[in-house]
Structure 1
Amino acid sequence: MKEYKTSKESRVSITELMLPAHSNFGGKVHGGHILNLMDQIAFACASKHSRSYCVTASVNKVDFLNPIEVGELVTLKASINFTGRTSMVVGVRVESENIRTGKKKHCNSSYFTMVAKDLEGKSIPIPGLIVDSIESVRRFSRSIQRKSESSSRTSRFDSANFKVDDYIAHLEGENMKLDL
């Protein structure tokens, strides 16, 4: 196994036609279908980088920016943005294309943390990432920042650490009634 790899070595892209079977009650492509495709391409990219089976450890925020219509082509692109010892962050971008007009829309982007596993299900070391451009430095650094913010957010709202008095003022003006 290589000690380090570039993101280009494991980059993956798929394009799929959105069919009526993929639609929700509103006639748009179901978000769950898109999330499933995103998870699949994140798996493919992470497995290609690590040369092992990978599992999804977490998914960073997914915002649905634009609806996807039945009959559009959806392209998903995935690349490794960050590598830890056994985990990696896979950036996934989703675009749709109207096949009649050629108009493309950015539908969503997200970050999947994937962990490499051996045949017994134990986490295993992965190749590091060769950071070879300003863009890849930006992506790697942003992943470190997201990881740090996530850890801080989790501990700050842990029930053992949560101090209600620190947050009462934040509730003012919200659609809620405080009844402690």
Structure 2
Amino acid sequence: MVSTAKAEEVSRSDIVITSGSGGFTTTLKLALSKPITATQRRQVIKDLKSGAADGQVSPMAMIRIDCNQTFARTTNEGTWETDYKCFPTYATLPWGFRISKSVRGIIVGLVKEHGLKWWRNNVSQPKNAPHLEAKDYIFHGTMKKVWNGDTVAYKDLYTFRHNVNGGGDGSISTGGTFGVGP
């Protein structure tokens, strides 16, 4: 006789949460050192989503920001903010990302930010410097130089150790696309 396990007893060794809206998406991945039941997994996901965005990924409509305007998005995994700073002959895009309180609550030790990669009008630009910082650090950098009418795409990766269900490796990937100027 073949026994069948209840759905509650099915276990997994990972958790993946993707969320975002208009121009920004994040994905949290947790590799677990030991399997977790479906019930435990749902509770961890619920805890990580508490107090944040709804966790649904919206269609990525092109967002455009004008001079001295801020583009900000919050997901379950953190908050991204970019300012469009215009000067007489060019502009810059200072940016920052802060990991959400719920995700900071499971991080053990330092977070390695791998360095923002970005593209201006589909052309690769110099990668921003990587950082190794505390979990409550506001990771930041600057995309420069850009001009009105440009389209900017970006992505970054943050890796860390976590304490969920015996611990393991975790990561947050961030990225998106937006336009600058009229």
Q: TM-score range by the shorter chain?
A: under 0.3
When you count strand as a share of all residues, which structure comes out higher? Answer: 2
What TM-score, normalized to structure 2? 0.25
When you count helix as a share of all residues, which structure comes out higher? Answer: 1
Larger Rg: 1
